[in-house]
Structure 1
Amino acid sequence: MSFDVPDACTLPTAERPLRLAEFDDLFATAVRRVDPIGATHARLHLTGPDGLADRVRDLAARETGCCSFFTFTTTGAPAADGEAVVLDIEVPAAHADVLASLTQRARAVSAGATS
């Protein structure tokens, strides 16, 4: 499954596959549900071991560093077997296609679809 990187992204080309692999790993291991909230806002529900919220915040901060159009908001809470995290992702209307691509990838990878 491909992911179109917008021109606004400043992450060096050589590092992009590594960042995408980090997102794919997060999607595959922690995403339980993806909720679109309009064209410019999505909410991902994640669960995982202790430290998940820190992992999500770190990845979101690094992504915002190269794709400043993203706004990530992370809310975490203890869960029975680790942590439950809600990740809100917002973009300006000009980047709604990037958010749609990201949420589509999150759904596919969390469901086990790979390519």
Structure 2
Amino acid sequence: MADLITTDACTLPTAERPLRVAEFDSLFAASATAVSRRGDGSVRIALSGGPGLVERVRDLIEREAACCSFFTFAVQGSDEELTLDVSVPPGRRDILEALAARAEERTGGGWRREPARG
């Protein structure tokens, strides 16, 4: 968690960072079903839920991308089942790993490694 809160690459005020991490934790605890580390260095988080999930995810990642512009997010799917793909430049992989680890902790460790796609 320290990487997510102390990074100098984030423009979110320091006092607000734990709240943002808590928002991700809440999302992952409620909806994450699996985490995949992909061969290209990105992470895919599978989520499932009900009405409002897509909107909740999009709102959170839009706010996160506004303060941490090194993140690239892509959402595909519906409220019932969606994927959240997250990538960062190579120099920020420690932060992506910290985010993926938090998601894994909240899915009971449901992760896998996917091969690179050409």
TM-score, normalising length: structure 1: 0.87
| 1:22 Cα offset (Å) | 0.4
Runs (4 or more) in structure 1 with deviation over 3 Å come to none
Alignment map for 1:47-62 (pairs within 5 Å): 47-62=48-63
Q: Does 1:10 align with 2:11?
A: yes
The total of aligned residue pairs comes to: 107
Alignment map for 1:4-83 (pairs within 5 Å): 4-5=3-4, 6-38=7-39, 40-77=41-78, 83=80
Matches of 1:39 and 1:93, distance apart in 2: 10
Matches of 1:103 and 1:3, distance apart in 2: 14
RMSD of aligned alpha carbons: 1.5
Matches of 2:2 and 2:33, distance apart in 1: 21
TM-score, normalising length: structure 2: 0.85
Deviating more after overlay: 88-97 vs 39-48? 39-48
Determine the structure 1 residue equivalent to 2:99: 102
- Unmatched tracts of structure 1, length 5 or more: none
